[in-house]
Structure 1
Amino acid sequence: MSATVVVADDDADIRSLVSIAVSKAGLELLASVSDGALALAAILEHQPDLAILDVSMPEMTGLDVCRAVRADASVGDLRILLLSASVDEQSQSIGIEAGADYFLAKPFSPRELATWLSVGKEPR
């Protein structure tokens, strides 16, 4: 059984790139959405193994989604990767406190994403 993934980014090109990488990594893409509220709904509905979230999205930020997911006892083991144009030490610290497992700086290479996907699909 392959790991399952929800992708959320308000940039359609990034969303498409990440979705293709997920499929190439042999993972099952459950949802690819354009804002944080839709991401949270997809995570709660599908209970994926992985969530890849842009930090800056409309409706809810990726950080807000992280906090909501980590506060919800119905969500099982979920790895969260945050995508951000700003991954300085302070941003990473805020993300970790919100519940993220990893950060990937935008722009990123498909190879960087593939490396994370190979690690991220392992059980938490």
Structure 2
Amino acid sequence: MLDLMALKLREAGHTITTTRTGAEGLSVLHAERPDLVLLDVLLPDTTGLEFCETVRADTEIRDTLVVMVSASASQRDVGAGLAAGADDYVTKPFAPSKLVGRIAALLSTDR
């Protein structure tokens, strides 16, 4: 799934850096300062909720857009993702074009 999302976003003109763990993701966030982070709710070393809360608590990276991706589509799960600070929550399965469109909309919004 990670490789497919990266491919589709690259095809849409985005520069992509991928990581596989929350620790790697935080390191990249601090080093590269991307405009947006796309993350799964389930990570090998943490949860997407904890990752998002960590980002929002860090003054250096707190303004980074965060989109959570999950197979968990219940209102409770979506609400938990948004409460953790996610800017959007996309449920699997999804059409890659839908994800690309939602990311484009977020990036075009004045913050």
TM over 0.5: yes
What's 2:66 paired with? 80
2:91 maps to: 105
Deviation of 1:55 after TM superposition, in Å, equals: 0.3
State the identity %.
33
RMSD between aligned residues: 1.3
Deviation per residue, 1:73-95 (Å, 9 max, x gap): 01152111100000211111111
Residue 98 of structure 1: how far off its partner (Å):
0.7
Q: 2:46: which partner in 1?
A: 60
Counterpart for residue 28 of structure 1: 15
Q: What number of residue pairs does the alignment pair up?
A: 110
Asked if residue 121 in structure 1 is aligned to residue 97 in structure 2, the reply is: no
SS for the counterpart of 1:96 is: helix
CA distance in 1, matches of 2:45, 2:15: 25
Higher strand share: 1
2:37 is matched with which residue: 51, 64, 85? 51
**What CA distance in whole angstroms lies between the structure 2 residues aligned with 1:65 and 1:44?**
13
1:5-64 CA-to-partner distances (Å, cap 9, x unmatched) read: xxxxxxxxx1111111221221111x2011222112111221110000000111111111
TM-score, normalised to structure 1, is 0.82
List structure 1 segments (4+ residues) > 2 angstroms apart after TM superposition: none
1-side partners of 2:37 and 2:23: how far apart?
13
Q: Secondary structure at the match of 2:93?
A: coil
Q: Distance in 1 between matches of 2:82 and 2:104?
A: 20
